[in-house]
Amino acid sequence: MKPLSYQSKLKTVDVIQRLDFFQGISKFDIASLTKSEQLFWLAAQDEVIMQAGEPDDKSFYLVLSGTLDVYDKKRNFIRELKGGSFLGEIGFILGEARTATVIVHEDSILMRITQQEMNRFPLGMKDKIKDKIIEGLAARVLSLNKTCAMLYDNIRKGT
């Protein structure tokens, strides 16, 4: 990955303002993000963003544009991530090793948020990001619960 130039950052702010993830955050706070040198990154097609099992670096990513593919430890496809999605939140929150391998499907712009960066954000932005992470994790738990229930029913029925 390579950092975005200042001009690209300004264009990225326009993209950010359209993402649901940042709804409710002031334009001033969003514009303040361009001051960071290490926040916005361009990831090229086929680049590995994270590898399952590797140690966490206490960061997570927001997909601002482009597409990423998520795979399990055995390289089975899990899901596709597009603008507004996030990844790496388990390591960010728990400090655990990466749970999935993520590969860039098409050139993407990512926002890499470290603990240090998060601490610099305005309070309202931090709260909004935390709320979105909680919503995303809850949705994943709900989806997994439904899958487990379906598998359990299939096992019980012998199918």
Asked whether the beta carbons of 77 and 35 are under 8 A apart, the reply is no
Is the predicted pLDDT of residue 159 greater than 70, yes or no? no
Is the predicted pLDDT of residue 135 greater than 80, yes or no? yes
DSSP assignment of 74-132: T--EEEEE-TT-EE-HHHHHH-PPP-SEEEEEEEEEEEEEEHHHHHHS-HHHHHHHHHH
Is the predicted pLDDT of residue 105 greater than 90, yes or no? yes
Residues 102-111: what's their mean pLDDT? 96
Stated pTM of the model: 0.84
pLDDT in tens, 26-76: 888 888 887 787 889 999 999 999 999 999 888 999 999 999 999 999 999
Q: What pLDDT was estimated at residue 51? A: 95
User: Which residues form the domain of 110?
Assistant: 2-157
Percent of the chain whose predicted confidence (pLDDT) is above 70: 98
Residues 127-134: what's their mean pLDDT? 88
Q: What is the mean pLDDT of the chain?
A: 89
The domain spanning residue 43 has which CATH number? 2.60.120.10
Is the predicted pLDDT of residue 98 greater than 80, yes or no? yes
- More confident: 57 or 152: 152
Number of structural domains the chain divides into:
1
